[in-house]
Structure 1
Amino acid sequence: MAETKRFKFDLPALRVLENEHQYLSYVMDGWHTIVLAFQRDIYTVEEGHEALQSLRKLIIDFIEPLKNHTDKEEEYLFPMLEKYVGSEQGPVTATEEEHEEIDAYIGHFLHHTLGDVSHLTMEEMKKVVNDAAEAFEVITVHFVKEESILFPMVDNILRIEEQDKLYEQLYTPII
Structure 2
Amino acid sequence: MKKHTEFTFNLPALRIMENEHHLLRYLMADWHPIVLSFERNAYTIEQGYQAIQLLRTKMMEFLDPFQNHLKKEEEYLFPLLSQYVGNEQGPVLAVEEEHKEIEAYIGHFLHHTNGDVKELSLQQMKDIVRDVGEAFEVITFHFVKEESVIFPMVKEILSPTEQYTLFEKLYSSII
TM-score class normalised by the smaller sequence: over 0.9
- Cα pair 2:4 2:22 within 8 Å, conserved: no
The answer to whether 1:121 aligns with 2:121 is: yes
Structure-1 residue corresponding to 2:138? 138
The answer to whether 1:171 aligns with 2:171 is: yes
Distance 1:32 1:4, change over 3 A: closer
Report the residue type matching 1:99 in the other structure.
H
Percent of aligned pairs with the same residue?
60
Q: How many residues align?
A: 173
Q: CA deviation at 1:115?
A: 1.2
Cα distance in 2, alignment partners of residues 5 and 130 from structure 1: 27
Structure-1 residue corresponding to 2:107? 107
Distance 1:28 1:4, change over 3 A: closer
Superimposed CA distance per residue, residues 128-173 of structure 1 (whole angstroms, 9 cap, x where no aligned partner)? 0000000000000000000000000000000000000000000100
Structure-to-structure mapping, 1:80-91, within 5 angstroms = 80-91=80-91
Cα distance in 1, alignment partners of residues 88 and 122 from structure 2: 43
Report the residue type matching 2:60 in the other structure.
I
Report the residue type matching 2:126 in the other structure.
K
Q: CA deviation at 1:4?
A: 7.5
Structure-1 residue corresponding to 2:16? 16
Report the residue type matching 1:79 in the other structure.
P
Normalising by structure 2, we get a TM-score of: 0.97
Report the residue type matching 1:164 in the other structure.
Y
Structure 1 unmatched runs, 5+: none
Cα distance in 1, alignment partners of residues 73 and 39 from structure 2: 32
Cα distance in 2, alignment partners of residues 107 and 6 from structure 1: 31
Cα distance in 1, alignment partners of residues 124 and 4 from structure 2: 39
Superimposed CA distance per residue, residues 96-120 of structure 1 (whole angstroms, 9 cap, x where no aligned partner)? 0000000100000011111100121
Superimposed CA distance per residue, residues 36-73 of structure 1 (whole angstroms, 9 cap, x where no aligned partner)? 01111111100000000000010011111000000000
Report the residue type matching 2:164 in the other structure.
D
Q: Which ranges of 4 or more aligned residues in structure 1 deviate by more than 6 Å?
A: none
RMSD (Å), alpha carbons: 0.9
